[in-house]
Structure formats: structure tokens, C-alpha cells
Amino acid sequence: MAFRICTLDESEKREYTLTMFPRYGEKLRPDGGIIDSENDIRLFYYGNGPFREPCSEFQFIFDYKGVAMNINIFEKIKDNDIYYSIIEVKGNGQLSIDEIKPSLRDAIRIYGTRKYARHKNVSDMIHISF
């Protein structure tokens, strides 16, 4: 898969409805994110933890070939390694976690690599368990 971080043209943007607290029902139309345009897979970061209280929980929209899901991911840093795991998945689609795992894992790896880009060999430090 060829994920890359990019902005979207106006014609490529899609509108999503958030299905998780605290922004339940809110409409979101991201300008860019982690995109695999060949396979129509997109990951957009939109939140960090409970309202007004930053934590190690991050909210994403994962659009897998037109089926949008809201995903909560937990991030833990331990011994110079970064660990990601899924907390919750909500969406209107009929996809199972097993169907989206490989693509979601690759997209989260790109997210973590970009987030901690200042560290040398950051891609070797990222561990994803789901």
C-alpha cells in the first residue's frame, strides 16, 4: 500500500458524521490526512481524549473504500518504544476488524512516524497490536 500524508482537492473531500463522544453527531470535512489514493483508504485524526482533557487516547476517522468508521486508539510510550492499540470502533459499515486490520495498521504506522519524526529510526520504535 502506498500511504502518504497529503491535502485533498475540493473534489476529493468527503463529509463524515462523528459517532463518538464528545463530538457525537458533528459533521467533519477534513482537508487532508493519511491517504492511499490507489485503494481509496483514508485516515484522519480529529481528537485527543475527553473534551478539554488531553490523554493517550486519540480519535480518528478511518474511511475504508467509502465505508467510514470512527476509531479510538490508545498510545503508550514505554522504554523509547511507541505502542498503539484499538480501544473502540464505531461506524455504519458492515466491515469486520479483520478486513481493515492490515490497512489500518499501515496508516497508524505512518501517523506515528509523522508524529514522532524528530526521533531517529522512529518507524522501528512503533508497535501496533490489534
Give, for all 130 residues of the chain, the pLDDT tens digit: 589 999 999 999 999 988 877 778 889 999 999 999 999 999 999 887 655 566 888 899 999 998 999 999 999 999 889 999 998 888 766 788 788 899 999 999 999 999 888 877 888 889 998 8
Q: Is 25 exposed, middle or buried (0-12, 13-18, 19+ CB in 10 A)?
A: exposed
Closest CA to 97 of 71, 75, 115: 71
pLDDT score of 105: 93
What global pTM score does this model have? 0.86
Query: Containing domain of residue 25, as a range?
Result: 4-129
By three-state DSSP, how is residue 87 classified? Answer: strand
Question: Alpha-carbon distance 17 to 70, whole Å?
Answer: 9
Residue 20: per-residue pLDDT = 79
- What letter would DSSP give residue 39? T
Domain count, the chain: 1
